[in-house]
Structures are given as structure tokens and as C-alpha cells.
Amino acid sequence: MNTVQENLKQIQQDINAAAAKTGRNSEDITLLAVTKYVTIERTEEAVDAGIVDLGENRIEGFLEKQAVIGEKAVWHFIGSLQTRKVKDVINQVDYLHALDRLSLAKEIQKRAAKKIKCFVQINVSGEVTKSGVSPDETLAFIQQLAEFPAIEVVGLMTMAPNTEKEDVLRSVFSGLRQLRDEVKAAGMLHAPCTFLSMGMSNDYTIAIEEGATHIRVGSALVGPYK
């Protein structure tokens, strides 16, 4: 197995190349290490290699790793969050990537002791197995979030289909970017919506070319775990 440092070097080169290709500044792209299937030791190795942003999709793993690593990292919760578990984790989260329903927003409002930076998850591909707000309902959904002062919509997030087809991936990513542009243009105080969380191990270069500001990379960075 490669060291995280070796993987990181390759990924950083890819980020730089994809950014250069599209006239972007690679410093505008945040690399999240998704550590959901790896040990605390491997996660610490990532932090020692210079990774700052960590993503977990389960509360248990999130809290376990945060207890050890603490403020050396910025903490992203990237998984779907059950309403009844919001209280267990929400005030420990720096960024929530999967706000996908009003009942969740309501519970966050009830439990949050600070403003919570949220990405709204959008089901761009329309696959029935994926959660997320449908593209048609995105603007109205985000308008409704104005009722919840604890929620700041910093961006949109999507999961692309599990496919190698570049045209499919590109259309999903560019679809999310267009939606982001619409929401941003609406100029809502509670929804600056500047960020785009999209791209994983298999498709992060395409995501960057299509405007990703946050890529969520697990297996290619800290794996293998597939």
C-alpha cells in the first residue's frame, strides 16, 4: 500500500493539471480526505502529510477520529444524517455536506449552538437510489431555509453516478454548477452558495474541470479500501 504522502503527491499533480487546463487557481480547490474506511492511524498519517480537511459519513467514525485529532483538522460530515442523531454531532461539524430535507434543517435549527455551514445535497442524476433535493426544487428549497437562522448555505453537493462515462459525469457536474450559479445569483443573505462539493476518487479531475471547489477523495488518497 502506498503512503498517503505518495498518493497525495499524485493527486496534487492532478489537481494542478485540471485547474491549469481550465484556467483555475488550484488554491481554490479544497481536497477532503474521506477517511470513513480507514483507521485513526491512517487518518493521522494523512494529517501529517499535510491534509487539513477530513470527511466522514458516520457519526461514530467522525467522533472517534475527532477525539484524537481535534483541532488539527477541519471536520466535514459528508453522509446522510438521521434527524434523531443531529444532536449527537451537529455542534462538532465545521461543514455539513448533505442537507437534503426541511425536517433536517428544522432539527439543526433546534440543536445548533452556532451557525452551521451547509452544502445542500442535490440529486442531479435523478437516480432513485440517491438522496438529495431534485434540481427543479433546489431554488425553492433554499429559499425556505431562510426560516432557519442557524443554517448558512455555503454551496451545493452531489454524488455522481458510478460510471466511467465521461460525458455523463460532465453533465452531472456542469448541471450542479449551473444550479449553484442560479442560487448564487438570487443573492439570498443566508445562501451565499459559492462552493461546489463534487468529485471522488474516480472522477475528481473531471469535477475540477467543471468547477468543483471541494473534492471528496477516499480510496485514491487513503485507500485502498474498495
Ligand X SMILES: *Cc1c(COP(=O)(O)O)cnc(C)c1O
Which window, 20-28, 82-90, 128-136, 210-218, contacts ligand X (CB under 6 A)? 210-218
d(CA 42, CA 30): 20
- The answer to the question of residue 57 lying near ligand X (CB under 6 A) is yes
Buried b (16+ CB within 10 A) or exposed e, 110-125: eebeeebbbbbbbbbb
**Interface with ligand X: number of residues (CB under 6 A):** 13
Q: Is residue 80 a contact residue for ligand X (CB under 6 A)? A: no
Establish how many alpha carbons lie within 13 A of residue 63's alpha carbon, considering only the half-sphere containing its beta carbon. Answer: 10
Of the candidate residues 18, 24, 36, 120, the single one contacting ligand X (CB under 6 A)? 36
Helix/strand/coil for 139: helix
Q: Are 213 and 196 in contact (CB under 8 A)?
A: yes
The verdict on 81 binding ligand X (CB under 6 A) reads no
Per the CB < 8 A criterion, the answer to whether 79 and 60 are in contact is no
Q: How far is the CB of 156 from ligand X (least distance, A)?
A: 13
Q: Please report whether residue 201 would count as binding ligand X according to CB under 6 A.
A: yes
Task: Please identify, using beta-carbon distances, which residue of 145 and 157 lies nearer to ligand X.
Answer: 157
Q: Does 30 bind ligand X (CB under 6 A)?
A: no
Binding footprint of ligand X on the chain (CB under 6 A): 34, 36, 57, 78-79, 159, 200-201, 216-220
